[in-house]
Amino acid sequence: MAIEVKRISDLNEVDVTKLIQESEKEGYRFVSRLASKYEDGTRRFNEQGEALYGVWEDEEIVAIGGLRQSIKTSEEQSARLLRFYTLPEHRRKGIGSELCKVIAENAKGQFKEITTKTESAKADAFYRANGFVFEDRSPDTTHVLNLE
C-alpha cells in the first residue's frame, strides 16, 4: 500500500465522484457540498493558511480534508478542519491519521489551533486518537487540536 498525501490546488482536476457517492451512502452530504461550493467559487481554500488535501492510493483518491480560517470564533488564529472523509474500505489503515498529521503540520506557524465538529462516536474516537481534545465550546466546535 503506497499512499501519498498531496495538496489539491484545483479540485476541478480531481475526480471525487467515488468519495461523493460513498459518503452519501453513509448519509453524509459534506463531500458533495465541498465539490459544489468549490465549483461555484464559494469556498476555494485559497485564503492565507487554507488548504485542501487528498490522499491517493495507487492513483485513486481515497480521502480528502480541508483546512480554512475559522469564521465562527473571535480567535483569528484558529483554523477549521472540514470536509474530512476517508472511503470506508480504506479506514483503520492509518490513512486518515496521516492526512490529519499533514494538515496539522502545515497549519503550524499559521494557526494556534484547529477546531472541528462531529456528532459521530467513531469520529470522536478518531479525533481523540489524533491529538484533539473534546471541547464543546460552542455549537460549532466539539474538538480542538492545540498547535502551540
Contacts of 113 (CB under 8 A, 6+ apart): 75, 77, 78, 79, 144, 145, 146, 147, 148
Return per-residue pLDDT of the chain as tens, 148 residues.
689 999 999 999 999 999 999 999 999 999 999 999 999 999 999 988 999 999 999 999 999 999 999 866 555 689 999 999 999 999 999 999 999 999 999 999 999 999 999 989 999 999 999 999 999 888 989 999 999 9
135: left (phi over 0), alpha (psi -120 to 50) or beta: beta
Which tens digits make up the pLDDT trace of 66-90?
Answer: 999 986 655 568 999 999 999 999 9
CATH number for the domain including 19?
Answer: 3.40.630.30
Please state, in angstroms and rounded to a whole number, the distance separating the CA atoms of residues 21 and 115: 26
3-class SS letters over 113-146: EEEECCCCHHHHHHHHHCCCEEEEEECCEEEEEE
Q: Which domain holds residue 139?
A: 3-146
What pLDDT shows up at residue 75? 56
Task: Name the percent of the chain lying above pLDDT 90.
Answer: 82
Residue 48 phi, psi dihedral angles, 5° rounding: -50, 120
Grid coordinates of 36? 459544489
What is the tally of structural domains in the chain?
A: 1
Per-residue pLDDT reduced to its tens digit, 109-124 = 999 999 999 989 999 9
**H or E element at residue 69:** strand 60-69
